[in-house]
Amino acid sequence: MIPQEDTYKHKGKRNALVRTIKAKGIKDHDVLHAIGTVPRHYFFDPAFLEHAYQDKAFPIGQGQTISQPYTVAFQSELLNIKPGDKVLEIGTGSGYQACILLEMGVKVFTIELNKVLYNKARKFLPAIGYKPFFSRGDGSKGWPSQSPFDKILVTAGAPKIPQNLIDQLKIGGILVIPVGNRQRQVMIRLIKEGEQKVKKEEFNYFAFVPLLGEKGWK
Ligand code: SAM
């Protein structure tokens, strides 16, 4: 995919999208700024450009989706991102969420199970100026060799919270993960307060594609 141009028209649509997600309750200025900056239309086939700035998920092939902008913003806000954080994203997909995190000044490690999506994102993101560290594999087990992380974000629906991910967080670190059945998941934010102490909070319901792999759905 060749990056398209980013015109005033696109910027105007992005600003409107920012207003939409702000109206839905997103307050974090850095998150809103990132959504207003990353050209989401770059991730769309030119035939579907009119969908790029609607607040909805969209198919990206391989039975997967680019998450809804509100969902991306909601998860990013829950992570309480600080510039310089080391963040693990599980489920690279299109790479859009990774770009949002990079735009917020963090170091991103992103892992994708699907080979086609991994290969596409690994080439495309650097081509549009975003450079996370990529890995292909089962992210339900985390990325042990790069741990510990300040933040871990899971962008697929898990049957339960994998203990490996908690183990790979720093003390004070945050895990954001949708947990539930294959149709519906509750957003969970887990804060690792001590080696054996976690605080769990539950937020809204979402509908993610399933987290596959050893600690995900079989
Ligand atoms: N973050 C993505 C974006 O910005 O486009 C959206 C991710 S999509 C909703 C979920 C992704 O998780 C899919 O690309 C899927 O292939 C991937 N996935 C599912 N199980 C996985 C696993 N065990 N490890 C890594 N990626 C996984």
- The stretch 6-29 carries a mean pLDDT of 97
- Name the band, by pLDDT with cuts 50, 70 and 90, for residue 46: confident
What distance in Å separates the CA atoms of residue 63 and residue 76, rounded to the nearest whole number?
Answer: 24
CA distances from 65 to 58, 97, 168 (A): 5, 12, 26
* Sequence-separated (6 or more) residues with CB below 8 Å from residue 86: 106, 107, 109, 146, 148, 149, 150, 151
| Mean pLDDT within 132-156 | 98
Model confidence at 92: pLDDT above 60: yes
pLDDT for the residue numbered 4 = 76
Could you count the other beta carbons within 10 Å of the beta carbon of residue 133?
14
pLDDT at 161 > cutoff 80: yes
Nearest residue (by CA) to ligand 1, atom 12, is 91
Compute the distance between CA of residue 100 and CA of residue 94 in angstroms, rounded to an integer.
12
Q: What phi and psi values does residue 147 have, to the nearest 5 degrees?
A: -75, 160
How big is the CA angle at 109 (ends 98 and 112), to the nearest 5 degrees?
75
Which atom belonging to ligand 1 lies closest to the Cα atom of 111? 25
Whole-structure pTM value: 0.97
Closest atom of ligand 1 to CA, residue 66: 5
From the alpha carbon of 214, which atom of ligand 1 is closest?
Answer: 23
Q: Which is nearest to 56 in space by CA: 27, 11, 48?
A: 48
Q: In the structure, what pLDDT confidence band is assigned to residue 60 with cuts at 50, 70 and 90?
A: confident
Query: What tens digit of pLDDT does each residue of 24-35 get?
Result: 999 999 999 999
Protein residues whose CB sits closer than 6 Å to any atom of ligand 1 = 64-67, 90-91, 93-94, 96-97, 111-114, 117, 138-140, 155-156, 208-209, 211-213, 216
Q: Residues 165-213: pLDDT tens digits?
A: 999 999 999 999 999 999 999 999 999 999 999 999 999 999 999 999 9
Cα torsion angle, 139, 142, 143, 144, sign: negative
Burial degree of 199 (CB within 10 A; 0-12, 13-18, 19+): exposed
Q: How deeply is 183 buried, as exposed, middle or buried, from its count of CB atoms within 10 A (0-12, 13-18, 19+)?
A: exposed
Could you tell me if 109 and 132 are in contact, meaning their C-beta atoms sit under 8 angstroms apart? yes
Confidence label for 218 from pLDDT (cuts 50, 70 and 90): confident
Percent of the chain with pLDDT over 90: 92
- Residues with active-site annotation: 67
> Is the peptide bond between 148 and the residue preceding it cis, with omega within 30 degrees of 0?
yes
All domains of the chain, ordered by start, with CATH? 8-206 (3.40.50.150)
Residue 2's pLDDT band (cuts 50, 70, 90)? low
Q: Poorest-confidence range of 47-51, 140-144, 155-159, 210-214?
A: 47-51
Q: What is the pLDDT of residue 3?
A: 57
Stretch 136-150: mean pLDDT, rounded?
Answer: 98
CB atoms within 10 A of CB 206: 19
